[in-house]
Amino acid sequence: MCPTFSAEQSQLEPNVEKKNISILRISADVTILLLLGIPTFYLRLFGSPYRRGYICNDQSLQYPYLEYSIATLQIAIFGSALSLTIVTLCEIMIAFFWESRSRKSSLPRHQIKYSICNINVHFIWIRLYKYAEYFGLGSFAGLLLMDVTKFFTGVHRPHFFDVCHPKPIGVPDCSENEFHRYIDQYECTNTNYSPFLVMDAHMSFYSGHAAFAFYMAVYVVLYLQARVHPYISKYSPMFLPLLQFLLIVLATYISFSNFTDNKHHATDIFCGIVVGNLFAVIICVYLMKLFAAD
């Protein structure tokens, strides 16, 4: 265990509060994130989505298969990097420029000194750890909810017929006179696509692209409003709203690219947008308490 500060040490600097960050807490945070990821990996490796039936002439499932305009991995890497880069740059500006200029008190600028195992750590690293920690929590929790929903609903993607080529089991194939017949037992006969794509054709609801794009965008929008707005509004009241608007536009473009790529139905995308917004609000407002006094 790491030693803690003694009372004698604290009395040496009466105006400074010292906080020692436990290694156990950091380990627990990392463990929680890893535990959230285990069910997702298990579902992806060993899970099989629910086999929902289909209607023979369902036109919403007759679209051709197209490649992603923006791959899921690209969203995860680029979106996370962009979000955390914006937060990092803003925290540097706040710590080394805006806070010092706006300080009116003659007391030291920061009344809390942090340490890990009695090794002094600059407060900006603690702030960045906090934002990255909660950002990761929302991301992993959102991923888990998305995969559980996809696997247990089994909603077909718009390109389901093209990828699967379903053949009814125990009943005749769909004919012109039976276009409205519901088929609940079938097998996929198309061998032109990998088993992963065939399985993925059963996981349309809800859109992970939309959920993650809006989670990341709204996370940054709320962060900017809470942390940056008080400092930058005096210089340019229009700059911050413009940046926030552009982030929402980018998230909207990413979300609806799935619609034009025949990956999701409109309802999947709208549900993903709602989930992404909800997770961002819960993380920023209720867990991080961004809008509370620092």
DSSP state of 97: I
> 0.85 exceeded by the pTM?
yes
**Per-residue confidence in pLDDT tens, the chain, 294 aa:** 554 444 334 444 555 667 777 788 888 888 998 898 899 889 888 889 999 999 988 899 999 999 999 988 889 899 999 999 999 999 999 888 877 655 554 444 446 777 777 778 888 888 899 999 999 999 999 999 999 999 999 999 999 999 999 988 877 777 666 678 888 899 999 889 999 999 999 999 999 999 999 999 999 999 999 999 888 888 888 899 999 999 999 999 999 999 999 999 999 999 999 999 999 999 999 999 998 855
Please report whether residue 144 resides in a domain.
yes
Q: What is the 3-state secondary structure (H, E, C) of 258-272?
A: HHHCCCCCHHHHHHH
Please report whether residue 187 resides in a domain.
yes
Please report whether residue 203 resides in a domain.
yes
Compute CA distances 99 → 109, 169, 245, 281, 290, whole Å. Answer: 8, 69, 26, 26, 17
The token pair that represents 47 in the structure block: 């899970």
Please report whether residue 292 resides in a domain.
no
Please report whether residue 294 resides in a domain.
no
Give the up-direction half-sphere exposure of residue 67: CA atoms within 13 A in the CB hemisphere.
Answer: 3
Give the up-direction half-sphere exposure of residue 230: CA atoms within 13 A in the CB hemisphere.
Answer: 12
- The per-residue pLDDT for 210 is 96
Pick from 158, 162, 140, 168: which is nearest to 41 by CA? 140
Residue numbers of the domain that contains 128: 7-100+110-287
- The per-residue pLDDT for 96 is 84
State the total domains in the chain: 1
Angstrom distance (rounded) from CA 221 to CA 41: 30
Please report whether residue 166 resides in a domain.
yes
Residues sharing a CB contact under 8 Å with residue 59, sequence separation 6 or more, in sequence order: none
Please report whether residue 13 resides in a domain.
yes
- The per-residue pLDDT for 107 is 40
Q: Which helix (H) or strand (E) segment is 186 a member of?
A: strand 186-188
Please report whether residue 244 resides in a domain.
yes
Collapse the DSSP code of 254 into the 3-class scheme (helix H, G, I; strand E, B; otherwise coil) and give the result: helix
Angstrom distance (rounded) from CA 132 to CA 95: 17
- The per-residue pLDDT for 228 is 92
Q: Which helix (H) or strand (E) segment is 106 a member of?
A: none
Contact 150, 49 (CB under 8 A): yes
Residue 112: strand pairing partners: 17
Compute CA distances 214 → 133, 138, 142, 231, 287, whole Å. Answer: 18, 12, 11, 25, 18
Q: Determine the residue type at 168.
A: P
- Alpha-carbon torsion angle 216, 217, 220, 222, nearest 10: -110
- The per-residue pLDDT for 293 is 55
DSSP labels for 39-62?
HHHHHHHH-------EETT-GGG-
Pick from 136, 128, 130: which is nearest to 90 by CA? 128
- The per-residue pLDDT for 18 is 76
